[in-house]
A = this chain, B = another copy of it.
């Protein structure tokens, strides 16, 4: 087990390299009887697909998914669901010089030293291409979470480099290639990206994800807290360098009287906790925010070394996203779905008989921006 499986009860075992024959996964533990169509998975994949705007990589991959097992007559059978996506657009020549040198900020160097062998074409296993698999698996998790528990998972870009993006409405997120929740800022984002692309450089971003409708009680108390597993999931996405739950780093300067979310019979009065207390969901929205670093494959000259340890100048002319954060929203949503379904099943396993007479309360704030504590989004 080398860390290519995710989840304890709803587990995804992923495979595939950027320029190999295919990528895909085996999903084990999916509850039986869930109606799922290949089109539903495809729809999620299409949200993450490359080549859909000039701001992302121009690699042409249809990302067409095939269900190989585990679904019979339109419903899951409880046996493993295998998903297969054939790679189509492999221009290996783009990556010729990477074979002998190491891109700064890229996994090239540690991969080589770890394994002593690597498929360098397009980054091989370290490529963000693998994240298509997560989105596909996440589509099934989301379907179950919605159907069984009414859970809705949505994300958006909250910042692109220096540009903070105000939260206006969930409705605007799907209408632009940035997943920005404010249509009026899109032209500014486009100008910024056009200039960046011309410069040959790359930039970071912030992505926020929110899960609404999560019942109280999911998660575990100590090491596998719900927020700890979310942090694991998010930091396990390529290029993520930081993860916050609820108030996140703003908590440092908060006093207890400000941070601790008060409760009334009508619901919680704030959500600094981000929907998790003591590692267990509270019934409020789960609020997650993450930092995405700038792409390491850039056209500009960078100092590095080659396999012999000699100094070289590296620049990368393959097809790369100048901001990997632009396509990260569906990936982050998928990972959150995978964490939640896993904990939903873990909770049912141990606590399936529990019932208290204490009323269950939720957050009082309406869905959307208001439920996200302002210091975190700015």
B residues near A205, Cβ cutoff 8 Å: 252
- Residue from the list B75, B221, B254, B278 in contact with A106, Cβ < 8 A: B278
A186-B279 Cα distance, complex, nearest whole Å? 32
Cα of A80 to Cα of B274 in the assembled complex, Å: 26
Which of these binds chain B: A51-59, A171-179, A287-295?
Answer: A287-295
Contacts of A142 in B (CB 8 A): none
Q: Is A365 an interface residue (CB 8 A)?
A: no
Give A26-62 as 1s and 0s: 1 = Cβ < 8 Å from B's Cβ atoms.
1011111100000000000000000000000000000
A254 vs B20: C-alpha distance when bound (angstroms): 32
Q: Which residue of B lies closest to A307 (CB)?
A: B358
- Asked whether, in the complex, the Cβ of A279 is within 8 Å of the Cβ of B105, the reply is no
B interface footprint on A141-170 (CB within 8 Å = 1, 0 otherwise) = 000000010000000000101100000000
Question: What's the Cα separation between A24 and B66 when bound, in Å?
Answer: 14
| A291 close to B234 (CB less than 8 A) | no
Which of B66, B116, B125, B359 has a CB less than 8 Å from the CB of A33?
B116
Partner of A204, one of B67, B259, B310: B259
Contact residues in B for A198 (Cβ distance below 8 Å)? none
**Interface hits, A212-227 → B, CB 8 Å:** 216-225, 227
Nearest chain B CB to A208 CB, angstrom units:
12
B4 touches A217 (CB 8 A): no
- Contact check, A204 vs B252: say whether CB atoms are below 8 A apart: yes
Q: A78-B350, A107-B279, A255-B201 in contact; A291/B244 too (CB < 8 A)?
A: yes
Mask for A283-309, Cβ within 8 A of B = 1, else 0? 100000001111110101011110111
Q: How far is the CA of A302 from the CA of B14 in the complex (A)?
A: 43
A82 part of interface (Cβ distance < 8 Å)? yes
Chain B, residue nearest A215 (CB) = B113
Closest to A256 in B: B202
- Any B CB within 8 A of the CB of A95: no
Residues of chain B contacted by A102 (CB below 8 angstroms): 263
Nearest Cβ on chain B to A291's Cβ, whole angstroms:
4
Given contacts A242-B243, A262-B304, contact A79 B221 (CB under 8 A): yes
Q: By the criterion CB–CB under 8 Å, are B349 and A346 in contact?
A: yes
Contact of A360 among B113, B118, B162, B307 (CB under 8 A): B113
In Å, the complex CA distance between A260 and B316 comes to: 13
Decide yes or no whether A281 CB sits under 8 A from chain B: yes
Given A2-B220, A116-B355, verify A105-B273 contact (CB < 8 Å). yes
Complex contact A23–B355 (CB within 8 A):
no
Please measure, in the bound complex, the distance between the C-alpha atom of A96 and the C-alpha atom of B89, giving whole angstroms: 42
Within 8 A of B (CB), among A93-117: 102-117
Chain B hits for A258, CB < 8 A? 294
Please give me the residue from chain B that is nearest to A7 by CB atom. Answer: B1
Residues of B within 8 Å of A217, CB to CB, are 110, 113-114
* Known A31-B353, A256-B296; further 8 A-B contacts with Cβ < 8 A: A2-B78, A9-B346, A11-B13, A33-B353, A106-B277, A203-B253, A252-B292, A348-B352
**Mind listing 13 A-B residue pairs with CB under 8 Å?**
A3-B346, A15-B80, A21-B68, A29-B350, A31-B353, A78-B117, A79-B125, A102-B263, A114-B347, A162-B253, A232-B232, A247-B293, A257-B300
Which 8 interchain pairs have the tightest Cβ spacing? A107-B278, A105-B260, A3-B224, A3-B220, A202-B256, A232-B232, A228-B236, A349-B349
